[in-house]
């Protein structure tokens, strides 16, 4: 990602995208994009199941280009059918976007990046709560990301935080009451 357009987009963090760069980024992130149409993912849910081999390349694109158009295109892709295997990409993208746009309410709120990101995290949590256990490697990143989004005023981030906290409380409560044995925990988490 070393074109002049790419570097300009990264540096300026423009809310617009050039006519050369937009379609190129859209294709990399499995989106269609044209002169008079917004970016839209062209994959259906069954196609999302085959994205796995591309996750590291998608992460590289998002981390090296944490600007609005790339965020929109990635979220278009992830929202089709969020999967547990997407969590490292989701976490990396959110952290890259926060590093680049830490206080940008237009990015996070007006363009709904925060709401959409929280929705994807929440869906992955509902599919695979074990990935959000306190001992999981991405949990600290997700907690930090959600806390930053709460500070920005994104109510969905607070809701996801509360869901994670409540889930953890239930687990600890069941352990404390002897309802689960260590064997159950290995299966569930």
Phi, psi dihedrals of residue 20, rounded to the nearest 5°: -85, -40
pLDDT at residue 116, rounded to an integer: 98
Instruction: Name every residue whose Cβ is closer than 8 Å to that of residue 102 and which is 6 or more positions away in sequence.
Output: 148
Band the pLDDT of 105: cuts 50, 70, 90: very high
95 pLDDT above the threshold of 70: yes
| Whether 90 contacts 121, CB under 8 Å | yes
29 pLDDT above the threshold of 50: yes
Q: How many alpha carbons lie under 13 Å from residue 29 in its C-beta half-sphere?
A: 31
Of 32-36, 132-136, 140-144, 169-173, highest mean pLDDT: 140-144
Distance (Å, whole) CA 117 – CA 101: 14
| Whether 142 contacts 135, CB under 8 Å | no
pLDDT at residue 171, rounded to an integer: 73
The dihedral over CA atoms of 122, 125, 126, 128, expressed in degrees to the nearest 10, equals 160
Q: Pick 37 or 14 by higher pLDDT.
A: 37
Distance (Å, whole) CA 118 – CA 145: 10
E-only strand ranges, the chain: 31-34, 37-41
pLDDT at residue 178, rounded to an integer: 52
| Whether 147 contacts 161, CB under 8 Å | yes
Among 119, 126, 62, 108, which Cα is nearest to 88's? 62
Band the pLDDT of 188: cuts 50, 70, 90: very low
């Amino acid at each position: 990602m070393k074109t002049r357009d790419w570097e300009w987009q990264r540096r300026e963090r423009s809310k617009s995208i050039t006519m050369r760069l937009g379609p190129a980024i859209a294709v990399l992130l499995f989106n269609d994009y044209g002169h008079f149409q917004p970016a839209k993912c062209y994959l259906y849910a069954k196609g999302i199941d085959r994205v796995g081999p591309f996750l590291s390349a998608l992460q590289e694109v998002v981390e090296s280009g944490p600007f609005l158009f790339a965020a929109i295109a990635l979220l278009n892709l992830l929202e089709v059918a969020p999967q547990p295997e997407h969590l490292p990409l989701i976490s990396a993208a959110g952290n890259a976007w926060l590093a680049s746009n830490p206080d940008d309410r237009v990015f996070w709120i007006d363009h709904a990046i925060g709401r959409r990101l929280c929705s994807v995290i929440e869906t992955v949590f509902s599919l695979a709560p074990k990935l959000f256990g306190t001992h999981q490697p991405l949990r600290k990143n997700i907690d930090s990301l959600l806390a930053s989004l709460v500070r920005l005023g994104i109510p969905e981030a607070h809701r996801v935080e509360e869901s994670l906290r409540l889930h953890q409380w239930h687990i600890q409560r069941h352990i404390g009451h002897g309802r689960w044995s260590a064997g159950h925990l290995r299966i569930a988490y």
